[in-house]
Amino acid sequence: MDLTDLIITVVKTAVIYIGMIQVVPLMLIVERRGAALIQDRPGPNRVGPFGLFQPIADVIKMMMKEVIIPSQVNKALYLLGPSLVLLPASLVIAALPFGDFFSVFNKPYLLQVANIDVGILYVLAIGSLGIYGILFGGWASNNKFSLMGAMRATSQIISYEIPLGLAACSAVLWYGSFSLREMVVTQEGTLWGVIPNWGVFCQPLGFLLFFIAAFAETNRLPFDLPETEAELVAGFHTEYGPMDFGTFFMAEYMNMATMSGLMVAMYFGGWHLPWIADATLLQWLGSRNILAILQVVTVVTKMAFFMVVYVWVRWTIPRFRFDQLMRLAWKNLIPLGLFNIVLTAVILYLKGAA
C-alpha cells in the first residue's frame, strides 16, 4: 500500500463516515415531518423553507444548553456512556457495501470502508458492544428510572441478538459466505427468470426475523421499552443533558442506518437494480465511475426506503408490554429462527441432490 492508496482510503473512509452522520439531521426532519403527516398536523415548518433547517436549529439549541453533571452520578462511567454508544455505532458501518468499486488512475477501490471477509460476524460483534454504553450510562446515573431503562435495554437487545444471529446464519447458509460483498454479488440475476434473485425472495422468513429484530436492536417503536416515556420518563438517558441525549440519538439513527444497510445488502440485492445485469449497465453507461455513482444512489435509495419504514412503523403500531416483548423473542422468533435454518439446510440439500 503506497501513499496514494493510503490517501484515497482515508478520504473514502471519511466521506462514508461523514455521509452516514448526515443521516441524523436528515432523519430528524423526516421523522418529525413524517409523524406530523401521519397524525394530520403541520409539524415543524417555521425554520427555513418547509422547516428544512429545523435540524440545524435543534443542534444549535442542544449545544448552547447548560451542561449538567448531577451530583449523585458515578462521574467517569456517566461521562463515558454516550461516547461508548456512539463508537460501536460508528464502527459497524465499516462492513457495509455501498457499491462495487470505482477506479482512480486505473486502480480499483472498493466502495466500502473495509472488505472484511467475516463482515456479518463483525457487524454482530461490534454492534452488540453498544450495550455497554447504555448499561454504564444507566447505572452510573444513580437514578431508578435510568437503572430500569438500562436493564430493560440490555435484556431486550441481548434477547433480540439471538434471532438476529439466527437469521444472519441462514443467510450465511444460503450465500455460503460471511462477506456482505460476496452476498451482494451472489444476488445478481433473476430467480427462474422472473423475479430478482434477491435474498428477500430466497429467505422470506429470515428477512422477516431480521426485520423485526432490527427494530428491537435499535430500540425503535414498537419495541422502545427502554425509553417508554409514560413509565420511565426517558429511560437510560433520564439524567443526561441535551448534547449527551443528542449523542445517544445520533447513535440510534446511525444504528438504524446500519441495520437498513444490512437488510439492503443481505436481502434486497445491495447495489443491483432488478432485472438489469451490471455488465449491461456498464455497457450503457460506458464508464466504471458513472456506474459506481449509480450503484451508490441505488443503495442509498433502498436504505432511505427502510428509514422511512422505520418512521412509518413507529407511528402506526402501538408499543408492546415488556413481558410480551420477551415472549415474542424467546417463544416465537428464536424457534422460528432455528426452523428457518433447518428449512434452508434441507432446501439446499435437496437442490444439491437434484
Partner 1 sequence: MEAFLPVGILFILAIIISAGLFTVKRLLGPRNPVPAKLAVYECGVTPESSARIPFQTGFYLIAVLFLLFDVEAAFFFPWALVYKESLAEGPALLIAMLIYMALLVLGLVYIFRKDCLKLN
> Which residues, 57 to 116, sit near partner 1 by CB under 8 A?
62-72, 79, 82-83, 86-87, 90-91, 93-94, 113-116
Nearest Cα residue to 225 out of 138, 152, 285: 152
Q: Which stretch binds partner 1 (CB under 8 A): 45-53, 137-145, 276-284, 286-294?
A: 137-145
Q: 199 near 183, Cβ under 8 Å?
A: yes
Set of cell numbers at residue 144:
431508578
- Which residues in 212-271 contact partner 1 (CB under 8 A)? 233, 238-239, 241-244, 246-247
Burial class (CB in 10 A: 0-12, 13-18, 19+), 180: buried
CA distances for 40 relative to 50, 257, 282, 300, angstroms: 16, 26, 45, 28
One DSSP character per residue, 20-54 reads HHTHHHHHHHHHHHHHHHHTTS--S-SSSGGGTTH
For 190, 198, 264, 278, the CA distances from 273, given in Å and listed in that order, are 11, 10, 12, 8
Judged by beta carbon, residue 172 or residue 311, the one nearer partner 1 is 172
Shortest gap between Cβ of 198 and partner 1 (angstroms)? Answer: 18
**Which C-beta is closer to partner 1: that of 176 or that of 204?**
176
Query: Helices H, strands E: what count in the chain?
Result: 16, 4
- The one among 45, 142, 190, 197 contacting partner 1 by CB under 8 A: 142
Per rule CB under 8 A, count of chain residues that contact partner 1: 84
Kindly state the DSSP code that residue 237 receives in the 8-state scheme.
Answer: G
Whether 97 contacts 91, CB under 8 Å: no
Least CB distance from residue 212 to partner 1, whole Å?
17
Contact characters 20-59, partner 1, x per CB under 8 A: -x--------------------------------------
Q: Which is nearer to partner 1, 63 or 276 (CB)?
A: 63
Q: Look up residue 258 and give its three cell numbers.
A: 446500519
Q: Indicate the burial class of 98 (C-beta count within 10 angstroms; 0-12, 13-18, 19 or more).
A: buried
Binding mask 179-218 for partner 1 (x = CB under 8 A): ----------------------------------------
Which of 154, 298 has the CB closer to partner 1?
Answer: 154
Residue nearer to partner 1 on the CB measure, 117 or 280: 117
What is the nearest approach in angstroms of partner 1 to the Cβ of residue 25?
14
User: Which residue in 7, 158, 276, 277 binds partner 1 (CB under 8 A)?
Assistant: 158
- Contact residue for partner 1 among 148, 212, 292, 307 (CB under 8 A): 148
Does 342 engage in binding with partner 1 (CB under 8 A)? yes
Residue 161 touches partner 1, criterion: CB under 8 A: yes
Cα dihedral: 18, 269, 333, 323 (round 10): 30
